[in-house]
Amino acid sequence: MDSYVIEGGKKLYGEVRVQRSKNAVLPMLAGALLTEDKIVLRECPAITDVKIMKSLLSVFSKTASGEETVTIEGESLRASLPSYLCAKLRASSLFLGACLAVFGEVELPLPGGCAIGKRPIDLHLSALRSLGVSVVEGEGFVRCRVTRRRGGRVVLPYPSVGATENLLLYSVLSEGETILSGVAREPEIVDFVSFLKSMGAKIRGAGESEMVVEGVSRLRGTEYTPMFDRIECGSYLIACACTGGEIEILGNGLQKKDLLLAKLRQNGCKIALGNDKIQIKASRDKMPFSLRTGPYPAFATDLHPMMGTLAALSGGESLLVETVFENRFSYLTELERMGAIVHRNGNFAFVGGGRLHGATVLAHDLRGGAALLLAGLSAEGKTIVLHPEYIDRGYTQPEIKFASLGARIERKPYE
């Protein structure tokens, strides 16, 4: 088993380039099933989730080649989705909408992903039902079939990102107009819609809570560069706030009004946004803050664990309220081993302490694992983070990027 070994206490200085967005690339890879023309995705991040989505595409006889520039081509042929691959990531659920659009039916083994909550797909299924898809739920799988391929109107009771993407994947090739209400407004959804539009899809209202899709009979190939990864970008910003120092991030995925920037400023950081870059200067005196996660434009749940690390390093007590995933807090148990003071009750936690010391800690999921990397970089002494494979799901070589900023971090086999 590998581990990250970190000698903490070095401030971060220099510049770092962020990858393209994991959460934008994954639905685009599923979207490649919708055409037999060539799809080229430029600057794809070299992360495990992308590799698994490429393997899933090959199940349908598509060739998905290349690392940084991924080219997907070939006829999409009907096939069974293997459960061992679907169990590896949540985004495998996106083959639901894509397969229904292309083949009219699909048997989807229930998707996996990080253990940060129950993560059911009931909203995907009830929305598809209301568009004329029959759904049979079995033990560990769901079988869906198109009974009438027509548009319609769907109202999502919660703006699920995955359900919104599945509805888009399904309805772009439907007949007539589909009105999608209560949908997710995340920037990755807007980017995914731009990608689909570059294939010839007709969609209005991306970024708003109602979108209108006018079905087309075929989609064409495209070449597309996904947006920068706002979560990776945010992770480096928070890392600098945690360790101290001053860094420049090339490839800004954040918008001016992003709540992360407001929270970091509340903590005392100075931030300057430029065109496709962002600079941060950490504060010596870290002030406490409060945040409440929620669907966009609320604070991103994916950035919450890293802010938990910052809270543990800040003066006073910070309040973290998690409203999206019920098991997001598992990283806090590990932070406590490093000296954080935590009072947790249900979906909120008060976190403080002011300093961290090194320890051997366990990543339980992708973003919780990233929070522990930040903790190790900021702690006094040596930290070993076990289970880096969770971190590999969303970050391209963080040890190299952090080392280029002056951190003492290595990836090594754990003895």
Centre a 10 Å sphere on the Cβ of residue 9 and count the other Cβ atoms it contains: 15
Residues 44, 114, 144, 269: which is the catalytic one?
Answer: 114
CB of 116 to ligand UD1, least distance (A): 8
CB of 385 to ligand UD1, least distance (A): 20
225-257: burial string, b at 16+ Cβ within 10 Å, e else: ebbbbbbbbbbbbbbbbbbbbebbbebbbbeee
CB 331 within 8 A of CB 305: yes
Query: Is the Cβ of residue 102 or residue 189 nearer to ligand UD1 in the bound state?
Result: 189
Backbone angles phi, psi at 59, to 5 degrees: -60, -35
For strands 152-155 and 177-181, give the pairing.
Answer: parallel
Centre a 10 Å sphere on the Cβ of residue 343 and count the other Cβ atoms it contains: 11
Q: For residue 312, give the amino acid letter.
A: A
Query: Is the Cβ of residue 308 or residue 358 nearer to ligand UD1 in the bound state?
Result: 308
CB of 147 to ligand UD1, least distance (A): 21
Query: Is the Cβ of residue 161 or residue 269 nearer to ligand UD1 in the bound state?
Result: 161
Query: Looking at beta carbons, which residue is closest to ligand UD1?
Result: 162
Residue 27, CA distances (Å) to 31, 92, 93, 313 in order = 6, 9, 10, 36
Query: Is the Cβ of residue 60 or residue 325 nearer to ligand UD1 in the bound state?
Result: 325
Query: Is the Cβ of residue 90 or residue 387 nearer to ligand UD1 in the bound state?
Result: 90
CB of 244 to ligand UD1, least distance (A): 28
Q: For residue 348, give the amino acid letter.
A: F
114 is a catalytic site residue: yes
Give the residues lining the site for ligand UD1 (CB under 6 A): 23, 26, 90-91, 117-124, 158, 160-163, 301-302, 324-325
Query: Is the Cβ of residue 158 or residue 270 nearer to ligand UD1 in the bound state?
Result: 158
Length of the chain: 415
Residue 359, CA distances (Å) to 249, 352, 375, 382, 385 in order = 29, 18, 10, 7, 8
Radius of gyration of the chain measured on its C-alpha atoms: 21
CB of 23 to ligand UD1, least distance (A): 3
Adjacent-strand bridge partners of 136: 143
CB 181 within 8 A of CB 209: yes
CB of 142 to ligand UD1, least distance (A): 11
Q: Looking at the annotation, which residues are catalytic?
A: 114
